Amino acid sequence: SARSELLKELNIAKKNLEKTPSRSRDWPPQRSHPSPPRLPFGGKIGDLLGSADPFEVKHPQDEMGVLFDPANAFWRDHPIFRKMRDRESPEIVFGPTGCGRTAFALGLAEGNEREDSLPVYVAGQPSVREIQNKIVQEMLDFTFARPHLLIEIGRHERALLAQLFSIGIGKDKTLASLDTARRDESRLKGADDAQRDLWAREDGSGFRLFEQDILECAMTPWADEGAWLGSIERCARSLGFARVLVLLDAPTDCEAWARSLLPRLRLWAAASITIKLFLPQTEGKRLARLADVISTSLIWSDADLDAMAHYRLGQVAQWAGGLVTEITYVIADNVYTDLFDAGVYDKFIAGAQRNP
CA gap 288, 135 in Å, rounded:
25
Q: What is the mean pLDDT of residues 178-205?
A: 87
| Comparison of pLDDT for 135 and 58, the residue scoring more | 135
pLDDT confidence of residue 152: 87
Q: Does pLDDT of 158 surpass 90?
A: yes
Q: Assign 295 to helix, strand or coil.
A: strand
Give the phi and the psi of residue 68 in degrees, each rounded to 5.
-120, -135
Residue 108 to residue 120: CA distance in whole angstroms = 9
* pLDDT > 70? residue 13: no
What one-letter code names the amino acid at 265?
Answer: L
Range 68-73 average pLDDT: 80
118, containing H or E segment:
strand 117-123
Concatenate the DSSP letters of all residues of 181-234 into one string.
HHH--GGGTT--HHHHHHHHHHHHHHHHHHHHHHHH------SSHHHHHHHHHH
**For the chain, give me the number of helices (H) and strands (E)?**
17, 5
Percent of the chain at pLDDT exceeding 90: 49
Contact between 66 and 86 under an 8 Å Cβ cutoff? The reply is no
Q: What is the pLDDT of residues 326-356, one digit of tens each?
A: 444 444 444 443 444 445 445 554 555 444 4
- Predicted pLDDT at 138: 95
Cβ partners under 8 Å of residue 109, min gap 6:
28, 119, 120, 121, 245, 247
Q: Is the pLDDT of residue 123 over 50?
A: yes
Grade residue 201 by pLDDT with cuts at 50, 70 and 90.
Answer: confident
Q: For residue 217, what pLDDT is reported?
A: 92
Report the pLDDT value the prediction gives residue 246, as an integer from 0 to 100.
97
pTM (2 d.p.)? 0.82
Q: What is the pLDDT of residues 232-241, one digit of tens each?
A: 999 999 999 9
**Are 254 and 283 a contacting pair, CB within 8 Å?**
yes
Rounded-to-5 percentages of helix, strand, coil across the chain:
60, 10, 35
Residue 145, pLDDT score? 93
Percentage of the chain lying above the pLDDT 70 cut: 72
